């Protein structure tokens, strides 16, 4: 299926993720679907709740395709959320307008076995798999379909804090105070997340990204144990089933530990956050790992020549190495859609210069 002549291999994003340097890097953006698009806001209103939007394949498929139609990105990322895993394990999840995600917080390790269960994981996530099948059928032939999941630490932090957090004090207190109990939650997440990603690939995802958005909130020692190690296990479980499917690892804020993510996570590509110098990453991270990133999302809010120059600098820095153009974190709601169009034109226009 993945031989050199198959149409799959000519997709630019897949080629770059498999280690090929391209003259014009493929481009997609984290959070490319969402509130900055008026067509998203219209459908979001119709859907009622955000979770209903994620779990209604017809609508989730439409939202996935909106940025592809507008900007012709090389990658279409499944429209869903990292928190559907706690939801599928049985934890109550809701999204409050302006307040972000809310969950009924886990009070301690003794609640893991009582409140969470893997039994209906795939049943509750079936709408997500159906969304992937629908998107795969409607994508332009050159566009790659990306699946995703949150990494265990980031997802666990929401499950323990009951939502977003500034300092992760409750989750860290549990981690430091009862590493064995905390480890049971992480193990459950490793197992469920790997099963979820494997099922996404079977439903049509051609590459997957693991988001550890809060890796940088951990001291280095804990980054190894609770971010890198669980991610390594997930990659191993995914590769055991789907050795050809590229995995992108995004340990946001990992600093120098990025070196170890490149060496030991088993990922094919690494998402580089806004803080890491890209030329350092190019020189210092394992050869052969594709890099992805790292334009500051606020550059796209500001737009103009500043944005274009920063984007060109990134492409020039990475010329000759396997690279995927992206942001260092997600598109923010206040981003003018026209700026995103100009960004895509800038990258694609560089080939002719």
3-state class (DSSP) for residue 211: strand
Residue 70 catalytic? no
Supply the DSSP string of 176-196, one letter for each residue: HH-HHHHHHHHHHHHHHHHHH
Task: Say which DSSP state 210 is in.
Answer: E
Which of the residues 15, 40, 74, 81 is marked catalytic? 81
User: Taking CB under 6 A as the rule, does residue 34 contact ligand CP3?
Assistant: yes
Residue 41 catalytic? no
* Contacts with ligand CP3, 46-75, as mask; x by CB under 6 A: ----x-------------------------
Residue 308 catalytic? no
Dihedral Cα 284, 287, 292, 297, nearest 10 deg: 10
User: Taking CB under 6 A as the rule, does residue 132 contact ligand CP3?
Assistant: no
* Contacts with ligand CP3, 85-104, as mask; x by CB under 6 A: ----------x----xx---
User: Taking CB under 6 A as the rule, does residue 79 contact ligand CP3?
Assistant: yes
Residue 81 catalytic? yes
Span between the terminal Cα atoms of the chain, in Å: 36
Residue 258 catalytic? no
Contacts of 97 (CB under 8 A, 6+ apart): none
Task: From residue 241, give the alpha-carbon distance in Å to each of 86, 144, 234, 262.
Answer: 23, 20, 11, 21
Contact with ligand CP3 (CB under 6 A) among 73, 148, 196, 323? 148
Contact with ligand CP3 (CB under 6 A) among 330, 337, 348, 350? 330
Among 235, 79, 59, 62, which Cα is nearest to 147's? Answer: 79
Contact with ligand CP3 (CB under 6 A) among 51, 61, 68, 77? 77
- Binding part of the chain for ligand CP3, among 107-115, 148-156, 183-191, 283-291 by CB under 6 A, reads 148-156
Of 35 and 312, the one with the shorter C-beta distance to ligand CP3 is 35
Task: From residue 31, give the alpha-carbon distance in Å to each of 37, 63, 264, 330, 352.
Answer: 11, 11, 27, 5, 28
- Binding part of the chain for ligand CP3, among 33-41, 181-189, 239-247, 305-313 by CB under 6 A, reads 33-41
* Contacts with ligand CP3, 155-194, as mask; x by CB under 6 A: ---------x------------------------------
Task: Name the residue whose CB lies closest to ligand CP3.
Answer: 213
Supply the DSSP string of 90-123, one letter for each residue: T--EEEETTTEEEE----SGGGHHHH--STTHHH
Tell me phi and psi for residue 114, to 5 degrees: -80, -45
Which of the residues 15, 40, 44, 273 is marked catalytic? 44
Which of the residues 35, 124, 184, 225 is marked catalytic? 35
User: Are 328 and 1 within 8 A, CB to CB?
Assistant: no
- Enzyme catalytic residues: 31, 35, 44, 81, 158
| Interface positions with ligand CP3 (CB under 6 A) | 30-35, 44, 50, 77, 79, 81-83, 95, 100-101, 148, 150, 154, 164, 211, 213, 330
């Amino acid at each position: 299926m993945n031989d050199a002549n198959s149409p799959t291999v000519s997709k630019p994003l897949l080629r770059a993720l498999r280690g090929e340097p391209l003259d014009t890097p493929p481009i997609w953006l984290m959070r490319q679907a969402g509130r900055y698009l008026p067509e998203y806001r219209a459908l979001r209103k119709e859907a009622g709740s955000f979770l209903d939007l994620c779990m209604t394949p017809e609508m989730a498929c439409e939202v996935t395709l909106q940025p592809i139609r507008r900007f012709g990105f090389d990658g279409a990322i499944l429209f869903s959320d990292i928190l559907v895993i706690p939801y599928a394990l049985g934890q109550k999840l809701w999204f409050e307008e302006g307040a972000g995600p809310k969950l009924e917080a886990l009070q301690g390790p003794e609640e893991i076995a009582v409140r969470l269960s893997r039994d209906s994981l795939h049943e509750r996530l079936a709408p997500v798999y159906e969304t992937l099948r629908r998107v795969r059928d409607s994508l332009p032939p050159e566009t790659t379909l990306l699946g995703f999941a949150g990494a265990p630490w980031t997802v666990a932090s929401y499950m323990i804090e009951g939502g977003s957090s500034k300092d992760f004090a409750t989750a860290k207190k549990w981690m430091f105070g009862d590493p064995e109990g905390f480890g049971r939650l992480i193990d459950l997440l490793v197992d469920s997340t790997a099963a979820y990603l494997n099922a996404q690939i079977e439903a049509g995802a051609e590459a997957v990204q693991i988001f550890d958005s809060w890796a940088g909130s951990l001291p280095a020692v804990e980054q190894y144990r609770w971010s890198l190690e669980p991610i390594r296990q997930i990659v191993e479980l995914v590769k055991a089933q789907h050795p050809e499917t590229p995995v992108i690892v995004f340990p946001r804020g990992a600093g120098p530990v990025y070196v170890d993510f490149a060496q030991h996570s088993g990922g094919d590509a690494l998402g580089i956050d806004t803080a890491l110098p890209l030329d350092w990453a190019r020189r210092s991270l394992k050869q052969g790992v594709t890099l992805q990133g790292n334009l500051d999302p606020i550059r796209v809010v500001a737009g103009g020549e500043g944005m274009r120059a920063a984007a060109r600098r990134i492409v020039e820095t990475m010329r000759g190495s396997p690279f995927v153009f992206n942001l260092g974190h997600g598109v923010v709601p206040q981003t003018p859609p026209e700026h995103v169009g100009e960004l895509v034109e800038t990258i694609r226009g560089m080939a002719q210069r």
